[in-house]
Amino acid sequence: MIKVTNFGKKYDKYIFKNVDISFDKFGVHYFCGKNGIGKSTFFRCVSHLEDYEGRIENFSKKIFYVFDNTPFYSNLKVIDNIKIITDIYDNALILSIASQYIDEEILFRKVNKCSFGEKKMIYLIILELLDADIIILDEFNNGLDKKNLIKLKKFLEKYKSQKIIFLSSHDYDFLENADYVYVLENYNIKKISKTEFNSIKISGGKEHD
C-alpha cells in the first residue's frame, strides 16, 4: 500500500499541490496526462528519489522503479548484471526465467551490445527475480517491438493480481491491461473510470500522451 497525504512538488513552479490519494489494491494502476504534467516526477517521489512536500508512506517491503534509461553495467555480460542487481546467483533459476523474455545467447552478451528493447526485457527478468511488492514502469513500452510488447502485457497479466504496478505509457492499448486509471491535471491526481478515460481520449486525445 502507498498512502499519499498533502503531497506537493515544485521546481520553478508547482506541479502538484495538496494531493491526497491511496493505492491499496493489487493491479495495474495506469497514469496518463500530457507531456511534462508530472508522471515521472510523481514516480520518482514515490520511490523517494526526489524531495517533496507532505508525506508518501510505503507500507510494502520492496519497490522497484524502471525508467526509460535505467542504467546497467554496460561492459559486463547480461547475466552478470542480473546477478549483481538481484543478488541471485542461481544460474538454473536465471536461465528458466530469462527464457520467457530473451534468447539464451543474449545472457552471455555484453549489455552494450544489446538493443534498447532487449534491455527492457532484461529488466522484466530482474523484476521477476526480485519479486518486488510495488513495480513502477515509467514509459516502459518505449522502444519495444510488437513481440516484446506482447511479453510485457503477459508480464502485467501474470502479476497484476499479486502486486501494485504503476504504469505510464503513450500507448492506449495498455488500457485493456489497466485495473485503475488516473489523470494528472490541475496539480492533482484524479482516479477515473475507463469509460471516462475513453470519452476524454476521443474528445481530446492529446491530453493523454
- What DSSP letter does each residue of 68-134 carry, written as one string? TT----TTSBHHHHHHHHH----HHHHHHHHTTTS-HHHHTSBGGGS-HHHHHHHHHHHHHHHT-SE
pTM: 0.89
Instruction: Write the pLDDT tens digit of every residue in 54-86.
Output: 999 988 778 999 987 888 999 999 999 999 999
| Three-state secondary-structure class, residue 187 | coil
| Angle at alpha carbon of residue 27, lines to 25 and 31, rounded to 5° | 100
79 neighbors 107 (Cβ within 8 angstroms): yes
The mean pLDDT of the chain is: 89
Half-sphere exposure of residue 201: CA atoms within 13 angstroms, side-chain side = 18
Q: What value does the mean pLDDT take over residues 110-126?
A: 95
**CA dihedral over 154, 78, 116, 15, signed as positive or negative:** positive
CATH number for the region 1-62+132-140+166-209 comes to 3.40.50.300
Asked whether the predicted pLDDT for residue 129 surpasses 50, the reply is yes
More confident call, 48 vs 199: 48
Tell me the domain boundaries of the chain.
1-62+132-140+166-209
Q: Examine the pLDDT at 35 and tell me if it is beyond 90.
A: no
Q: Is 99 left (phi over 0), alpha (psi -120 to 50) or beta?
A: alpha
Contact 54, 5 (CB under 8 A): yes
Strands 53-58 and 188-192: unpaired
C-alpha 50, offset from chain centre = 17
C-alpha 188/C-alpha 197 separation (Å) is 16
What does the pLDDT read at residue 199?
A: 67
